[in-house]
Amino acid sequence: MSASAPISEVFQESFDHLIRGPFTVSSRGLLNDEQATRIVQELLARVESPTPGVLGGRGQTRILEIPGLGRMFLKRYSHGGLLRKITAGHFLCLGQLRSKVEFEMLELVRSLGVNAPKPLAFVQKGSTIYSTWLLMEELQGARSIVEIGEDEGDALPRALDGLSEQIRILIKHNIFHVDLHPGNVLVDDNRAVYIVDFDKACRFKGSRQALRELYLRRWRRAVIKHQLSPLLSEMMSLTLRSNDE
């Protein structure tokens, strides 16, 4: 490392030296030993390429191809804000593994009928200080709802209707996504609408009406922040408030 390296690189290299031990791949039996080994090899080689079209988010989602399973989404967890520059994707073990928590949340929401990526495995390297990843099935031909609106404006109402159905299920079961924005809504080749990035999703203790308004406010803020079409906000409000319980 050169003497002129940015201070963030100095910190990150220091954390890299602190992470000891092998990779641990947990898959609840969904992957065999050979596939788990290949995942570790890919992580060591750092050959993943970024997935385009995602607005914001703390996780870095990349594509990984595993023999016998095909192309997968691989998400590495990282901090937000200033901590991202200092510690990158390194965490101090103070609670549950973030990848494990999201793995379990994806299992839960899928069991309720929400379209979300199928979780396949979560990976950890280190113990007291660690890095972690989540492996999920790829959504074939997935594009964000923003791209759908830009490329196929006539398909946007249907996509928003599909999204509203998914959000209503979350509201019914008092689940708050926390970071629902247009970049976290994907439409696959079959026009199915998926919600992604359930990191830090949690149970909501207020009323369903209050939760619905939280979703709408978060969505509206994202539309304004990313200077997207106001139609995304207006149509979402109309569809989510229709058939109000």
- At 41, the pLDDT band (50, 70, 90 cuts) reads confident
Q: How many CB atoms are located within 10 Å of the residue 40 CB? A: 15
Question: Cβ distance 35 to 66 under 8 Å?
Answer: yes
Spell 203-214 as b/e; 16+ CB within 10 A means b. ebeeeeeebbeb
- In the predicted model, is pLDDT for residue 147 greater than 70? yes
- In the predicted model, is pLDDT for residue 114 greater than 80? yes
**Alpha-carbon span 201 to 190, nearest angstrom:** 26
Catalytic site includes residue 189 = no
Catalytic residue among 151, 154, 179, 189: 179
Percentage with pLDDT > 90 across the chain: 39
Q: pLDDT of 43-100, one tens digit each?
A: 777 544 444 444 444 456 788 887 777 888 988 887 554 444 445 566 666 668 889 9
Burial class, 140, CB count within 10 angstroms (exposed 0-12 / middle 13-18 / buried 19+): exposed
pTM of the model: 0.82
What are the strands, taking DSSP E only, across 162-201?
A: 175-176, 185-187, 193-195
Average pLDDT on 136-145 reads: 89
- At 180, the pLDDT band (50, 70, 90 cuts) reads very high
